Amino acid sequence: MIEVEHLTKEYGDFRAIDDISFTVEKGEILGFLGPNGAGKTTVMRILTCFFPPTRGKAMVAGYNCFEDSLNVRKRIGYLPERVPLYEDMEVADYLRFVAAIKGTPAKEVQRKAARVMDDCGLGEVAHKPIKAISRGYRQRVGIAQALVNDPEVLILDEPTVGLDPKQIKEIRKLIKDLAGRHTVILSTHILPEVSILCGRVIIINKGKLVAVDKPENLRAEGSRRTYLRISGEARRVEEELARLEGVSGLTREQAADDTQAFILAFTDEKRGRQAINSMIERNHWDLIEMRPIEASLEDIFIKLVTREEA
Amino acid sequence: MNPRNIGLILTRELKSYFSSLTVYLVIVMFLLMTGYFFYNLLATFSVVSVQAQADPMLARQYQLLNINETVIRPLFGSISIILLLMTPLLTMRLFAEEKKTGTIELLLTFPVNDVDVVLGKYLACVVVILAMILLTATYPVIIVVLGTPELMPILTGYLGLALLGAAAAALGVFTSSTTENQIVSASISYGLLFFFWLISYSVPLVSAGLGQVLAYLSINEHITSLSKGVVDSEDLIYYLCLVALFLFLTLRSLETNRWR
């Protein structure tokens, strides 16, 4: 549905994005992750035809964003980061305007605007001017205007910023429900959001693509470590463990009573596990706990981003 | 070009105009100033008429004691200058405000041609200006009630004002598209409008050929001939060219924004 090839955008001497390529399948939700100023918004602005790339090509639904911009724009709904809305208009009036300008036939404008207000929970503020509604409602009006013409592709720049936890939950549900029928690209700072919503994640930093993968694969890539707790004499347990083959990166953890806890990484998981088991058996210790620790997305993100900078 | 989209943008802009105080203030100021000029012209005319009745010499001196020449023509001159003072206040927000608040990002990513955006905004402004000009029709109505002026110069004078307003609006739309600061937009508009207005002052100082060119470029030379009741295609073409030129420049300016 979306194809991006070797996209580069320069503002004078500054290169905002540098040779970025990725594709998004129909019905997929793609997360766009990156620190501030990484170039997320720039990619989104190219995809929404706000400005053209310096080099490279972006295609949405088979149309080139630069050469066939009108056909692309008919098929997208866009929520910019600042949520720019016409402050002096009433919510319902504004959504009717957007529905009409996006090509909805005149007799359906009212129905579409009413439906999207319903979906986004805007009934209460329908007749208030946009300048008078709260941040949460503004955000929802922004999402509503992106959705109003039922676009094939939705591009949402930080859709849950500035909302309270209950609203965040509602908006996430709304976005999640869109998957399948719509293709969604969303950018965010909030990492758990990515694992909740997105089928795939793109991490960019300083305009460069750092990683593209499923959230769970990215997690797996961040070295898997294991938590181990054994009853036994502290010094001997540590000595024996250090000597084992297939085990590395041993660090001691705080543990209760007379048990010893460690976090370790396997260089060879199968042999490492066997070695630990036979060690415990040989010494007549008890294995109390052994479980894998999943690296959080935060860890991976920071690791990927800092690796890039190193 | 899509008439429906132009209509949608035009309606939205008009609603936005009339939901802010600016447009009402501008109209009130415009009517106060033009009304002041009208009152003075008419009062002077009536005083001179009364004196001329008693003094035939004076009457001969004032051969021009013709209400078209002494009231209506100067009135159109004043209205046109005040119109030039008011239009930048109406046009300055059209693009600059959208750039400042960021709504331009959504507007330009809607499936709408740039031409429709520019025409929609421009026509909204022209509608306000025409409404403003029409409100001054009370002055000639008063003259028609009190005296017997020639009607043709009044009608062509209004045609001239409408064309002048349309040209000044196009110029203002252009300056608004070049900046995100409304004050900067208005300042550039005033600069350009006064250039077009004052350019005729150099006519006597330069060679005849250049003088003709400068006179042709001058915005008020054309309004003068129209308020005499003469519709010359030269004048119409002049104003329409200004409109076309500045709307074209606005489109280019929107495009360069995309390229930056």
List all residues 6 or more positions away from B40 whose beta carbon is below 8 Å from its beta carbon: none
Answer yes or no: do A17 and A151 share one domain. yes
Q: Pairing state of beta strands A225-231 and A14-24?
A: unpaired
Considering only residues A259 and A184, tell me which one the structure prediction assigns the higher pLDDT.
A184
Contact B260 A51 (CB under 8 A): yes
The rounded radius of gyration (Å) of the Cα atoms in chain B is 21
Answer yes or no: do A147 and A240 share one domain. no
Number of domains in chain A: 2
Q: What is the pLDDT of residue A231?
A: 84
Of the candidates A52, A101, A145, the beta carbon closest to that of B258 is on A52
Q: What is the DSSP string of A196-237?
A: HH-SEEEEEETTEEEEEE-HHHHHHHS--EEEEEEES-HHHH
pLDDT of residue A278 exceeding 60: yes
Band of residue B124 on the pLDDT scale cut at 50, 70, 90: very high
Answer yes or no: do A240 and A278 share one domain. yes
Instruction: Over range B29-45, report the average pLDDT.
Output: 93
Range of the domain at A185: 2-220
Answer yes or no: do A198 and A243 share one domain. no
As given in the structure block, the two tokens for residue A89 are 């208009």
Contact A86 B103 (CB under 8 A): yes
How far is Cα B192 from Cα B167, in angstroms, rounded to an integer? Answer: 12
What ipTM, to 2 d.p.?
Answer: 0.88
Classified as helix, coil or strand, A122 is: coil
How far is Cα A235 from Cα B185, in angstroms, rounded to an integer? Answer: 78
Choosing from A184, A202, A220, the residue where a domain stops is A220
Which of the given ranges, A57-66, B6-15, B71-80, has the highest pLDDT on average? B6-15
Closest listed residue to residue B9, CA positions, set B110, B101, B92, B146: B110
Cβ-based contacts of A95 with chain B (< 8 Å):
none
How far is Cα B26 from Cα B24, in angstroms, rounded to an integer? Answer: 5
pLDDT of residue A53 exceeding 70: yes
Range of the domain at B119: 3-259
The per-residue pLDDT of chain A, averaged, comes to 85
Residue A22 within any structural domain of the chain: yes
As given in the structure block, the two tokens for residue B198 are 């004052």
DSSP summary character for residue A296: P
Q: Is A97 on the interface with B (CB under 8 A)?
A: yes
pLDDT of residue B260 exceeding 60: no
Band of residue A101 on the pLDDT scale cut at 50, 70, 90: very high
Residues above pLDDT 90, as percent of chain B: 63
Least-confidence region, from A30-34, A141-145, A215-219:
A215-219
Cβ-based contacts of B259 with chain A (< 8 Å):
51-52
Closest listed residue to residue A34, CA positions, set A143, A158, A156, A142: A158
Angstroms from B251 CA to nearest CA on chain A: 15
Q: What is the pLDDT of residue B217?
A: 85
Classified as helix, coil or strand, A124 is: helix
Of the candidates B4, B8, B109, the beta carbon closest to that of A50 is on B109
Answer yes or no: do A177 and A258 share one domain. no
As given in the structure block, the two tokens for residue B102 are 């960021």
How far is Cα B200 from Cα B221, in angstroms, rounded to an integer? Answer: 7
Which helix or strand (DSSP H or E) is residue A188 part of? strand A183-188
Answer yes or no: do A201 and A245 share one domain. no
Contact B260 A11 (CB under 8 A): yes
Cβ-based contacts of A16 with chain B (< 8 Å):
none
Cβ-based contacts of B101 with chain A (< 8 Å):
84, 87
**C-alpha triplet A175, A180, A185: angle, nearest 5°:** 50
Contact A101 B101 (CB under 8 A): no
Closest listed residue to residue A220, CA positions, set A269, A263, A176: A269
Band of residue A190 on the pLDDT scale cut at 50, 70, 90: confident
How far is Cα B55 from Cα B38, in angstroms, rounded to an integer? Answer: 25
Q: What is the CATH number of the domain that holds A198?
A: 3.40.50.300
Is B80 exposed, middle or buried, given 0-12, 13-18 or 19+ CB atoms closer than 10 A? buried
Answer yes or no: do A230 and A93 share one domain. no
pLDDT of residue A228 exceeding 90: no
Instruction: Over range A118-131, report the average pLDDT.
Output: 90
Answer yes or no: do A192 and A160 share one domain. yes
Considering only residues A185 and A38, tell me which one the structure prediction assigns the higher pLDDT.
A185
pLDDT of residue A297 exceeding 70: no
Contact A51 B259 (CB under 8 A): yes
Residue A54 within any structural domain of the chain: yes
Closest listed residue to residue B254, CA positions, set B108, B150, B91, B78: B108
Q: What is the CATH number of the domain that holds A273?
A: 3.30.70
The per-residue pLDDT of chain B, averaged, comes to 90
How far is Cα B254 from Cα B260, in angstroms, rounded to an integer? Answer: 10
Band of residue A222 on the pLDDT scale cut at 50, 70, 90: low
Q: Is A165 on the interface with B (CB under 8 A)?
A: no
How far is Cα A275 from Cα A279, in angstroms, rounded to an integer? Answer: 6
Residues above pLDDT 70, as percent of chain B: 96
Single-letter code of the amino acid located at A27? G
Is A111 exposed, middle or buried, given 0-12, 13-18 or 19+ CB atoms closer than 10 A? exposed
List all residues 6 or more positions away from B105 whose beta carbon is below 8 Å from its beta carbon: A45, A50, A80, A82, A84
Q: What is the DSSP string of A46-89?
A: HHTTSS--SEEEEEETTEETTTTHHHHHHTEEEE-TT----TTS
Residue A117 within any structural domain of the chain: yes
Answer yes or no: do A206 and A250 share one domain. no
Contact B12 A97 (CB under 8 A): yes
How far is Cα A73 from Cα B109, in angstroms, rounded to an integer? Answer: 6
Cβ-based contacts of A96 with chain B (< 8 Å):
none
Contact B101 A97 (CB under 8 A): no
Angle, helices B219-227 vs B233-259, to 10°: value is 140
Instruction: Over range A36-63, report the average pLDDT.
Output: 89
pLDDT of residue A223 exceeding 70: no
The answer for A 259-278 residues in CB contact with B (under 8 A) is: none
Q: What is the pLDDT of residue B164?
A: 93
Angstroms from B16 CA to nearest CA on chain A: 7
Contact B12 A45 (CB under 8 A): no
Answer yes or no: do A171 and A209 share one domain. yes
For residues A47 and B105, is the Cβ–Cβ distance under 8 A? no
Could you tell me which chain B residue has the CA closest to the CA of A66? B258
Cβ-based contacts of A74 with chain B (< 8 Å):
111
For residues A204 and A17, is the Cβ–Cβ distance under 8 A? yes
Instruction: Assign residue B179 a region (left: φ > 0; alpha: ψ between -120 and 50; beta: otherwise).
Output: beta
- Residue B259's Cβ-side half-sphere holds a number of Cα atoms within 13 Å equal to 6
Q: Is B100 on the interface with A (CB under 8 A)?
A: no
Residue A98 within any structural domain of the chain: yes
As given in the structure block, the two tokens for residue B229 are 């009741």
As given in the structure block, the two tokens for residue B99 are 């750039």
Band of residue A219 on the pLDDT scale cut at 50, 70, 90: low
Residue A298 within any structural domain of the chain: no
| Beta strands across the sheet bearing A200-205 | A76-79, A153-157, A183-188, A29-33, A200-205, A208-213
Cβ-based contacts of B102 with chain A (< 8 Å):
80, 82, 84
Choosing from A204, A220, A236, the residue where a domain stops is A220
pLDDT of residue A179 exceeding 80: no
Answer yes or no: do A279 and A180 share one domain. no
Cβ-based contacts of B260 with chain A (< 8 Å):
11, 51
Cβ-based contacts of A85 with chain B (< 8 Å):
103, 106
DSSP summary character for residue A268: S
Angstroms from B175 CA to nearest CA on chain A: 21
Q: Is A139 on the interface with B (CB under 8 A)?
A: no
pLDDT in tens, B159-204: 999 999 999 999 999 999 999 999 999 999 999 999 988 888 888 8
Number of domains in chain B: 1
Q: Pairing state of beta strands A208-213 and A55-60?
A: unpaired
The rounded radius of gyration (Å) of the Cα atoms in chain A is 25
pLDDT in tens, B200-221: 888 888 888 888 888 888 887 7
The three-state DSSP-derived secondary structure of chain B is CCHHHHHHHHHHHHHHHHCCHHHHHHHHHHHHHHHHHHHHHHHHHHHHHHHHHHCHHHHHHCCCCCHHHHHHHHHHHHHHHHHHHHHHHHHCHHHHHHHHHCHHHHHCCCCCCHHHHHHHHHHHHHHHHHHHHHHCCHHHHHHHHHCCCCHHHHHHHHHHHHHHHHHHHHHHHHHHHCCCCHHHHHHHHHHHHHHHHHHHHHHHHCCHHHHHHHHHHCHHHHHHHHHCCCCCHHHHHHHHHHHHHHHHHHHHHHHHHHHC
Answer yes or no: do A99 and A125 share one domain. yes
Angle, helices A91-101 vs B3-18, to 10°: value is 160
Residue A203 within any structural domain of the chain: yes
Choosing from A220, A240, A266, the residue where a domain stops is A220
How far is Cα A234 from Cα A299, in angstroms, rounded to an integer? Answer: 30
Residue A309 within any structural domain of the chain: no
List all residues 6 or more positions away from A240 whose beta carbon is below 8 Å from its beta carbon: A279, A283
Q: What is the pLDDT of residue A265?
A: 78
Could you tell me which chain B residue has the CA closest to the CA of A145? B106
Residue A127 within any structural domain of the chain: yes
Closest listed residue to residue B97, CA positions, set B22, B23, B185: B185
